[in-house]
Amino acid sequence: MSDTTDPNSQKRGTGYNGWWFASAAVIVAVLLAAGAVIVFGGPGDTSTPQATTTPRAAPGTSTQPVATSGEVRPGCHPSATDQTVPTAEPPGLNWEIIDGVAYPWSPTAGALHRDRGVWTCYAHTPTGALLAATFLSSAESYTQAARVLQEQALSGPNRNAKLAEVRKNPPQAPEPGTTADIAGFKFLDYTPQRATIQIAGAFANRYLVLTVPVVWSGGDWKLNMDPPGGPVPGAPLASLQGYTRWGAP
């Protein structure tokens, strides 16, 4: 499988970044007001997001083998097939920087196609969903946001409005020191058709959480910016208790 990673990106040796924020002093305010950086509504809801009522597989258990019914993205053939919901950091991850932000990818679970800041081709597995959700958690903040939203988000009112917005006013690359570190993850639910995953971040000794719904569509995991019940706002997080910690080496 060819790798078309942006030549301007590079692997990060220590630490890693998660989301773009204006400054450490206003991290929570920016997260809630821009909930922004992704899809999760506006200010006012500062409670930790709750699990949805979607049927879920318990973490660490396996679902039934996936029947894809021939739904395969052209040229996309990840080798991962394990249907176990991860309760630890997936092994063998690489971390690469896009717009100053480091994201994980796996040579078996994706993203196998990494083209100028647009990552696609994830395995139809819980790990594939996790890696896709982590990348897509910042979909609106990339300098390539229009391409990401066009290719990797389901069409709907929120997505279409945000796509029009970023086409008119493309996001700028973040300033150094204005991004948060990815700190943990938690599966709220998973089926072979959809998953809801929380991505936790840490910045200036504070935690925050984004809830990212993804759907298997067109042979890949895609961001759902119009989930049933509406998007969940980003929120401050008291601690990482209950989350699986992970990060770049």
| Residue 205 CB neighbour total at 10 angstroms | 6
What pLDDT was estimated at residue 50? 36
Mean of pLDDT values over 25-42? 34
Of the two residues 180 and 36, the one the predictor is more confident about is: 180
Range with the lowest mean pLDDT among 62-66, 113-117, 121-125, 134-138? 62-66
Confidence bin at 97 (pLDDT 50/70/90): confident
Residue 98 is predicted with a pLDDT of 79
Cα–Cα distance for residue pair 38/64, rounded to 1 Å: 31
Q: 172: Cβ–Cβ under 8 A, 6 or more apart, which residues?
A: 143
Angle between helices 145-152 and 157-168 (to 10 degrees): 160
Closest CA to 218 of 170, 153, 138: 153
pLDDT for res 245: 94
Please report the beta strands in the chain, taking only residues with DSSP state E, as ranges in sequence order.
94-98, 101-105, 113-115, 118-120, 181-190, 194-203, 206-217, 220-223, 235-237, 244-245
Please report the pLDDT score of residue 241 as a whole number.
95
pLDDT at 204 (0 to 100): 82
Close Cβ partners of 242 (under 8 Å, ≥ 6 residues apart): 186
Phi, psi of 229, deg, nearest 5: 85, -5
For residues 28-48, average pLDDT:
33
Instruction: Assign 3-class secondary structure to 94-107.
Output: EEEEECCEEEEEEC
CB neighbour class for 69 (10 Å; exposed up to 12, middle 13-18, buried from 19):
exposed
Answer with the residue of higher pLDDT: 238 or 48: 238
Lowest mean pLDDT among 40-49, 65-74, 106-115, 167-176: 40-49
Q: pLDDT digit string (tens) for 55-93?
A: 345 455 444 434 333 466 778 999 999 999 999 999 999
Q: pLDDT tens across 213-246, in order?
A: 999 999 999 999 999 988 898 999 999 999 999 9
| Size of the chain, expressed as the number of residues it contains | 249
**Residue with the larger pLDDT of the pair 26 and 90:** 90
H helical segments located in 15-98: 27-33
pLDDT of residue 60: 54
